[in-house]
Copies of this chain bind each other. A is one copy, B any other.
């Protein structure tokens, strides 16, 4: 009877994915909620949170935290890079992170972990500040 496994493409998940595509980069749950409703896509804030949560669980969406602790999301597969952020003015540079991937994979493997993921951010003061 229950043959539904991974076919469940919840409507809300699709709406949220569409929103993330339109935004292109990172967006917070609340921003996403605004964007979606601005474009006559009626969807509740709670549902946006739930959709994001399930997309994160499904490894479709990445989550990371701004310095103030707010969660921001982006589509996985969007080229995986890291950020160099100026603590003073907020200027952000995208950094290639192949080294980090390897480091994380290796450290995980050495300790018998699977489904390895990682976060890595660099911060400092840019030359304009």
Contact = CB atoms under 8 A, between A and B. Distances in A.
**Oligomeric state, in number of copies?**
2
Contact of A115 (B107, B113, B124): B124
B118 A120 contact: yes
Nearest to A117: B123
A27 interface: no
Contacts of A115: 87, 124-125
Interface residues of A, number: 33
A93 to B, nearest CB: 5
Contacts of A99: 99-100, 103
Contact of A121 (B71, B87, B119, B127): B119
A114 B124 contact: yes
A84 B117 CA distance: 10
A9 interface: no
The 5 closest A-B pairs by CB, nearest first: A113-B124, A112-B127, A120-B120, A116-B124, A69-B69
